[in-house]
Amino acid sequence: MSDGSNNKKMSIIVTKGTLDWAYPPFILASTAASLDVDVTMFFTFYGLQLLKKDVSHLQISTLGNPGMEMPMMGMHMTMPNIVSMIPGVDAMASSMMKNLIKKKGVASIEELRDICVESDVKIIGCQMTLDLFEWTPDIMIPEMQLGGAATYMGKALESDINLFI
Amino acid sequence: MATQTLDTKGMNCPLPILKTKKAIKGLNAGETLEVLSTDPGSVKDMEAFCKSTGNKLLDSKDNGGVYTYIIEKS
């Protein structure tokens, strides 16, 4: 819980719903909260995936991702775009990534999200996205509050740091 | 001798900081926390954490791959 000793505020717009892109917003939000920063996260479009109760379905995409280099058998493996079209390749790459995450002592998304919730990070889900994708609040974590662009602007205008991820 | 010791060896960023925050919360002002870490990034991170939260970093040591920090709760 923030004790507010430094009076700083941060907002993050979270727009991406893949396993790799789930990390930057949750790492920054949990760390900022640990540094006594008052944090608000606004989840919109694919970012809203990260607020589902179950996030075990999150995957990385190998398509158009030349920066992805997985350590494998002492080498580094990249994925040409044509390989991405083979069914099951993303699932395989995602499970390799999850194994690496465990092996290297990196936190899981569930763990980081739990810490955000425990540290009073405000979690706002985009009402319009929920409606657009026909998702109901009961599949989302109960800490999610619904809001819209104006809710975000209200937070952003009073924040010291505003990020779009 | 620190009031409490927190072992974060093997954990990667940002877990050492997140666990430190949790442990500090359970201390009274003036009590100290010793943190052990193998994350080389934790050297700068612990400084930034203490600067931002107002807790005092009394000591920061590298004992051959294991970093030791002593933090006093303000």
B22 domain-assigned: yes
pLDDT above 90: residue A126: yes
B56 domain-assigned: yes
pLDDT tens column, A127-149? 999 999 999 999 999 999 999 99
B74 domain-assigned: no
Residue A130's domain comprises 9-56+108-164
Question: pLDDT-derived band of residue A73, with 50, 70 and 90 as boundaries?
Answer: confident
CA A136 – CA A128 distance, rounded (Å): 12
pLDDT tens column, A8-67? 999 999 999 999 999 999 999 999 999 999 999 999 999 999 999 999 999 999 898 888
A3 domain-assigned: no
* pLDDT number for residue A6: 77
Cβ separation B54–A6 shorter than 8 A: yes
- Residue bearing the bigger pLDDT, A102 or A1: A102
**Which residue does chain A place closest to B38, by CA atoms?**
A105
Task: Name the residue facing B53 among A30, A36, A107 (closest C-beta).
Answer: A36
Q: What are phi and psi of A90, to 5 degrees?
A: -65, -40
Q: A58, A67 in Cβ contact below 8 A?
A: no
Mutate to test the interface with A, among B21, B56, B66 (most CBs of A within 10 A): B21
The encoded tokens of residue A18 equal: 């893949």
A25 domain-assigned: yes
Q: B61, B32 in Cβ contact below 8 A?
A: no
Mean pLDDT confidence for B40-54: 95
A157 domain-assigned: yes
* pLDDT number for residue A11: 98
The encoded tokens of residue A4 equal: 């507010």
Question: pLDDT-derived band of residue A165, with 50, 70 and 90 as boundaries?
Answer: very high
How remote is the C-alpha of A110 from its chain's centroid? 10
Say which CATH number the domain at B52 has: 3.30.110.40
B73 domain-assigned: no
Enumerate the residues of chain A whose CB falls inside 8 A of the CB of residue B25: 1
Say which CATH number the domain at A13 has: 3.40.1260.10
Mean pLDDT confidence for A67-91: 88
A127 domain-assigned: yes
- Check the CA dihedral A53-A57-A60-A61 and report its sign: negative
A15 domain-assigned: yes
B27 domain-assigned: yes
ipTM passes above 0.85: yes
* pLDDT number for residue A2: 44
Cβ of residue A116 closer than 8 Å to a chain B Cβ: no
A35 domain-assigned: yes
Cβ of residue A35 closer than 8 Å to a chain B Cβ: yes
B49 domain-assigned: yes
Cβ separation A5–B54 shorter than 8 A: yes
* pLDDT number for residue A1: 42
Cβ of residue A114 closer than 8 Å to a chain B Cβ: no
DSSP lists the bridge partners of residue B69 as B35, B60
CA A99 – CA A40 distance, rounded (Å): 30
Residue B23's domain comprises 4-38+45-68
* pLDDT number for residue A69: 87
The total number of structural domains in chain B stands at 1
pTM summary value: 0.90
A93 domain-assigned: no
pLDDT above 80: residue B70: yes
Distance from the Cα of B25 to chain A's closest Cα (Å) equals 9
Enumerate the residues of chain B whose CB falls inside 8 A of the CB of residue A33: 21
Given the DSSP bridges, would you call strands A122-126 and B67-72 parallel, antiparallel or unpaired? unpaired
* pLDDT number for residue A66: 87
* pLDDT number for residue A3: 53
* pLDDT number for residue A16: 97
Cβ separation B53–A35 shorter than 8 A: yes
